Chains A and B, each alone.
Chain A
Amino acid sequence: MPLMGFVQQIGTGALVTIQVAVLAYLLALLIGTLFALATLKRRLVVNIAWQTYASIFTGVPSLLVAFLFYYAGSGIISSVLSLAGLNVTIDISPFMAAVAALGMVYGAYLADLIRSAIQNVPPGQFEATKVLLIPRPAAWVLVILPQVLRLALPGMTNMWIVVLKDTALISLIGLKEIMAYAKLASGVTKEPFIYYLLASAFFLGMTALTYFVSQRIEQWTRRGYRPVAVKGPAHAL
Chain B
Amino acid sequence: MHYDFKLAWESMPALLAGTATTFTVLLPVLVLGLLVALPVALARLDSGPKSVAAAGYIAFFRGVPSLVLLYLVYSGLPQLSIVRDTFLWTFFSNAYVCAWVGLTLTHSGYMAEIIRGGLAAVPSGTIEAAAALGLSPRQVLFRLRLPMAARYVLKAYQNELLIMVKSTSAVSAITLVDLTAAANTVFDYTYDPFTPLVTAAAIYWCIINVMRIGFTLADQKLNRHLVRN
The majority secondary structure among interface residues of chain A is: helix
With A64-B183, A193-B76, A207-B63 in contact, is A72–B1 under 8 Å at CB?
yes
Alpha-carbon gap, A56 to B166, bound state (A) = 13
Pick from B1, B64, B166, B169: contact of A203, CB under 8 Å: B64
Instruction: State the Cβ distance, A97 to closest chain B Cβ, in Å.
Output: 11
Is A152 interfacial (CB-CB < 8 Å)? no
Instruction: State the Cβ distance, A188 to closest chain B Cβ, in Å.
Output: 12
Stretch at the interface among B29-37, B45-53, B155-163: B155-163
Could you say which residues of chain B place their CB within 8 Å of the CB of A200? 60, 63-64, 68, 72
Is A203 within 8 A of B65, CB to CB? yes
Pick from B66, B194, B205: contact of A72, CB under 8 Å: B194
Could you say which residues of chain A place their CB within 8 Å of the CB of B40? none
Pick from A68, A203, A204: contact of B193, CB under 8 Å: A68
Is B27 interfacial (CB-CB < 8 Å)? no
Could you say which residues of chain A place their CB within 8 Å of the CB of B209? 55, 59
Alpha-carbon gap, A218 to B198, bound state (A) = 41
With A55-B205, A61-B169, A237-B163 in contact, is A68–B198 under 8 Å at CB?
yes
Pick from A72, A78, A203: contact of B63, CB under 8 Å: A203
Is B201 interfacial (CB-CB < 8 Å)? yes
Is A235 within 8 A of B169, CB to CB? no
Is A38 interfacial (CB-CB < 8 Å)? no
Taking residues whose C-beta sits less than 8 angstroms from the other chain, chain A's interface range is 35 or more
Could you say which residues of chain B place their CB within 8 Å of the CB of A196? 68, 71-72, 75-76
Is B72 within 8 A of A193, CB to CB? yes
Pick from B2, B110, B208: contact of A236, CB under 8 Å: B110
Proximity bits, A208-237, B CB within 8 Å = 1, else 0: 100000000000000000000000111111
Proximity bits, B60-101, A CB within 8 Å = 1, else 0: 101111111001100110010000000000000000000000
With A169-B65, A237-B159 in contact, is A192–B76 under 8 Å at CB?
yes
Is A186 interfacial (CB-CB < 8 Å)? yes
Instruction: Please count the residue pairs between chain A and chain B whose beta carbons lie under 8 angstroms apart in the complex.
Output: 152
Is A168 interfacial (CB-CB < 8 Å)? yes
Alpha-carbon gap, A161 to B65, bound state (A) = 10
Is A91 interfacial (CB-CB < 8 Å)? no
Is B72 within 8 A of A235, CB to CB? no
Task: List 5 A–B pairs whose Cβ atoms lie within 8 Å, in order of A's numbering.
Answer: A63-B180, A169-B67, A179-B67, A233-B121, A235-B156
Q: A172-B67, A200-B68 are in contact. List 5 more A-B contacts (CB 8 A).
A: A75-B193, A76-B194, A193-B79, A196-B71, A235-B114
Give me the interface of B with A, judged by CB distance under 8 Å: 1-2, 59-60, 62-68, 71-72, 75-76, 79, 110, 113-114, 116-118, 120-121, 152-153, 155-156, 159-160, 162-163, 165-170, 172-173, 180, 183-184, 187, 193-194, 197-198, 200-201, 204-205, 208-209
